[in-house]
Homo-oligomer: A and B are copies of this chain.
């Protein structure tokens, strides 16, 4: 979770929505707090009072973007919020979500977690039909598809829109008087439903007096004392309004395969969240136990890399009986503004974020447990630090298989070129990071630790088997590159002959 910049995968988004509570914006503020680990670059909340939508967004953490004044300016009983990771600075405020537009069906706000794999083609098609794009986000594509007026009902429209989208998308959509939760048919990204008693019957769901909550993870329900109801199913559209909850699932009964991101269990989700009604921390303890069985070692101390390796290390300790010790100490005050050291005094980076309690490791054989090795630079720095502190042996253990493929579904992994395991043998990695031994958990061991069948998961980043076939070389290209040159690549789709003359 720290170390050399960008050496851990970045999340792409966290979603939160409320229907039927007079303090919808406040609840969403807390919900986004709980989901802050899913995106730290921008935050936004849109509310509806049944008539008008109001939005406040900004670059930064939830606590920086919102204050009492901004929350007070967001009255309403329906709300949708979003936290996002993005690559650059304030100029990208326009990409912050929720995106809010006016169209023939009224005002619509959308919050999106995931990545469409046919975005380039959809966008090109829409532009050919006259659509204009004000952001570089693929979420804007969904809005354009939604906005086409049609005699169909809102739910029917959503079904047709979904039939055109490929890839990963958990969505919360808000209209003036309803809140809608959607998961793609593969169910790549999580989305759960919760509820809490509304203090105001006149805005709650009429049939039961509850306010309903949609959130990326259950930890957001816990924080606001909402009870967990159920997961939104893969492929489900759930529309909540005053009249009640209305669910359809066009893929129900089909042979549609599932592909939940297993890396949510390994790394992304907060340990106190439940996924598939399984506690994430417990799954991570299981991962650590399995790791100890698969790669046992004689040692004196098991050390987690905080906080990403905390629970797997605990499981390793429990299974192996080797004593556990928090020998790495995090500096809790490292903010995003931390300055990189100048030339003269470089190499402080690692110690600024994590310091080692040398007395705990000196003269010992230690096992270091982490949840991934991406570029290898961070792991190498850890091992070096341990050796300098006098560790006799350093054994590295990783609680999942080696990452060899980029993610097509919304995770900002490095490209293949930068993924160490895509280009090196395990022995080369071990040598590079300088460990006495190195052990990765097997794919089977990882899946078994979740207690769920392999058919539930996307494991593409380990195996290269992308469940949703990537449409074209263009989409693969766009996926591996930054999106900023988007328009250029779109142009390639359009035969030059159709480009009109200037004069």
Contacts and interface: CB of A to CB of B under 8 A. Distances in A.
Interface in A255-313: 270-272, 279, 281-282, 307, 310-311
Copies of this chain held together in the complex: 4
A222 interface: yes
Interface residues of A, number: 114
A239 B225 CA distance: 58
Interface residue SS majority, chain A: mixed
A252 interface: no
A355 B149 contact: no
Contacts of A66: 339
Interface stretch (A21-29, A420-428, A444-452, A460-468): A21-29
A154 interface: yes
A326 interface: yes
Given A130-B147, A223-B348, 7 more contacts: A23-B345, A101-B134, A102-B490, A104-B128, A108-B132, A281-B326, A282-B360
A430 to B, nearest CB: 26
A67 B345 CA distance: 16
Given A153-B500, A356-B272, A33 B345 contact: no
A56 interface: yes
Nearest to A58: B90
B502 A359 contact: no
7 contacts: A30-B341, A33-B352, A34-B331, A34-B352, A104-B127, A223-B351, A279-B360
A39 to B, nearest CB: 10
Given A29-B339, A357-B279, A360-B282, A104 B130 contact: yes
Contacts of A272: 329, 355-358
B33 A502 contact: no
Given A63-B334, A500-B150, A132 B102 contact: yes
A178 to B, nearest CB: 7
A132 B154 contact: no
Contacts of A23: 342, 344-345
A50 interface: no
**Nearest 8 CB-CB pairings of A with B:** A279-B359, A36-B333, A130-B148, A101-B132, A104-B127, A102-B133, A63-B335, A63-B337
A437 interface: no
A134 B61 contact: no
Interface stretch (A317-325, A405-413, A469-477): A317-325
A64 interface: yes
A230 interface: no
A103 interface: yes
A326 to B, nearest CB: 6
Contacts of A199: 344
A324 B314 contact: yes
A106 interface: yes
B356 A102 contact: no
A500 B282 contact: no
A333 B63 contact: yes
Given A314-B324, A332-B307, A130 B103 contact: yes
Contacts of A503: 153-155, 239, 246
A310 B339 contact: no
A62 interface: yes
A100 interface: yes
A315 to B, nearest CB: 10
